[in-house]
Amino acid sequence: MKIKFIFILIFIIIRNSYSQTDTEFFNRAHTKDSLKDYIGAISDYTKAIELNPNNALAYFDRGFIYDNQGLFEKAISDYKKTIELKPDFVKAYIYSGLLYYNKGLYNEAINNYNKVFELKTNIDTYAFLAYLGRGCVFDDQGLYDKAIADYTKAIELKPDYAKAYYSRGLVYYNKGLYDKAINDYTKNIELKSDHIAAYINRGVAYFHQGLYDKAINDYNKAIELKPDSADDADAYTNRGNAYYNQGLSVKAISDYTKSIELNPKDAEVYYNRGIILYNQGLYDKAINDYTKAIELNPNYANAYYNRGFTFYKQGLFDKACKDLKKSKELGLVNADDYIKQHCQ
């Protein structure tokens, strides 16, 4: 009898020594998450939740992993559960808002960001993110003044937040307020000197002001930061545009060609290069570029129009008429006079 009691006692001790709490699973999940073992982390967060269904943080952290994996439904479900268990969990509203925004569900996104402003807990810490997020929604909806107001509020709350300056700069650019856009891009660059897109977009703003040398300097900087990367394709394209406007066709073609090497899927670059080749009398090469532009964008009316006139220059009138009629069909009326005279 005594031996049996000792055996039972040892069994209980061994069993208890291997029993883990939800906190232990939660902490282990955090470790696995930091090591990028996301499958293991999800498994441990799930075990933590099974042991303690009221563990709001476990739901939130598991949702964040699902979010990063693009698993929208699972992420939203976990964020909603987090909010149900902890209605003042500000970050859950912000991340839900961002997730809804990325899915194009703007009303749901705004509702979540608005909820942040209603709360008191941690509002000073996270409000700038909610203003930025809501500003992005308004921006996408074309509500530029509301977007600017939200980005400005985010900047007031966090003056060193580079992304807010950049985002506001994009809106100012879309409104044609190039000086204000340049100021915001410049502030972004001061705070984040390796931000390639800020250099490119400031260059575009300078370009629209006719300040081609300043634009080229910014495109040069973008290229220097990350040579021969896909990110540089836009820099080469835009620098090519600036060279073209300066009458430097050889440099423009070189940049368009480099841009195509880095990103062969941009129809506009083929179109731009085709224009220069046409002007140089290189009609076959121009046609090749216009054709590639049309392959990438079958509704590219200008490419049909230009290819049509290139065929005309070669005396290929049937092909010319076919392309010019197609350009008109796609909404370009410039070809009307030629069509009436030669394509009846």
| Structure token digits, residue 294 | 């049309």
Sign of the CA dihedral 100, 104, 107, 110?
Answer: positive
What is the mean predicted confidence (pLDDT) over 161-189?
98
Contact between 77 and 96 under an 8 Å Cβ cutoff? The reply is no
Q: Indicate whether 4 pLDDT > 80.
A: no
What is the mean predicted confidence (pLDDT) over 175-195?
98
pLDDT digits (tens, 9 = 90+) for 264-279: 999 999 999 999 999 9
* Superfamily per CATH, domain 265-344: Tetratricopeptide repeat domain (1.25.40.10)
Contact between 283 and 251 under an 8 Å Cβ cutoff? The reply is no
Question: Can you tell me the distance from the alpha carbon of 74 to that of 173, in angstroms, rounded to the nearest whole number?
Answer: 37
pLDDT digits (tens, 9 = 90+) for 39-82: 999 999 999 999 999 999 999 999 999 999 999 999 999 999 99
Question: Can you tell me the distance from the alpha carbon of 13 to that of 117, in angstroms, rounded to the nearest whole number?
Answer: 51
What is the mean predicted confidence (pLDDT) over 216-244?
94
Three-state helix/strand/coil letters over the chain: CHHHHHHHHHHHHHHHHCCCCHHHHHHHHHHHHHCCCHHHHHHHHHHHHHHCCCCHHHHHHHHHHHHHCCCHHHHHHHHHHHHHHCCCCHHHHHHHHHHHHHCCCHHHHHHHHHHHHHCCCCHHHHHHHHHHHHHHHHHHCCCHHHHHHHHHHHHHHCCCCHHHHHHHHHHHHHCCCHHHHHHHHHHHHHHCCCCHHHHHHHHHHHHHCCCHHHHHHHHHHHHHHCCCCHHHHHHHHHHHHHHHHCCCHHHHHHHHHHHHHHCCCCHHHHHHHHHHHHHCCCHHHHHHHHHHHHHHCCCCHHHHHHHHHHHHHCCCHHHHHHHHHHHHHCCCCCCHHHHHHHCC
Contact between 48 and 60 under an 8 Å Cβ cutoff? The reply is no
pLDDT digits (tens, 9 = 90+) for 9-36: 333 333 333 457 889 999 998 999 999 9
pLDDT digits (tens, 9 = 90+) for 205-223: 999 999 999 999 999 999 9
Q: Indicate whether 342 pLDDT > 90.
A: no
Q: Indicate whether 337 pLDDT > 90.
A: no
pLDDT-wise least confident of 11-25, 51-65, 103-117, 190-204: 11-25
Q: Indicate whether 188 pLDDT > 60.
A: yes
Q: Indicate whether 6 pLDDT > 50.
A: no
Average pLDDT value for the chain: 91
- 1-71: which CATH architecture? Alpha Horseshoe (1.25)
For residue 59, which of 102, 104, 29 has the smallest C-alpha distance?
A: 29
Question: Can you tell me the distance from the alpha carbon of 344 to that of 331, in angstroms, rounded to the nearest whole number?
Answer: 19
Residue 18 has what pLDDT? 43
- Confidence (pTM): 0.84
pLDDT-wise least confident of 153-162, 170-179, 188-197, 332-341: 332-341
Q: How many CB atoms lie within 10 A of CB 315?
A: 8
The CATH 1.25.40.10 portion of the chain extends over 1-71, 265-344
In the structure, what pLDDT confidence band is assigned to residue 121 with cuts at 50, 70 and 90? Answer: low
The pLDDT > 90 percentage for the chain reads 84
Residue 119 has what pLDDT? 86
Q: Indicate whether 330 pLDDT > 50.
A: yes
Residue 22 has what pLDDT? 85
Residue 227 has what pLDDT? 84
In the structure, what pLDDT confidence band is assigned to residue 122 with cuts at 50, 70 and 90? Answer: low
Contact between 75 and 64 under an 8 Å Cβ cutoff? The reply is yes
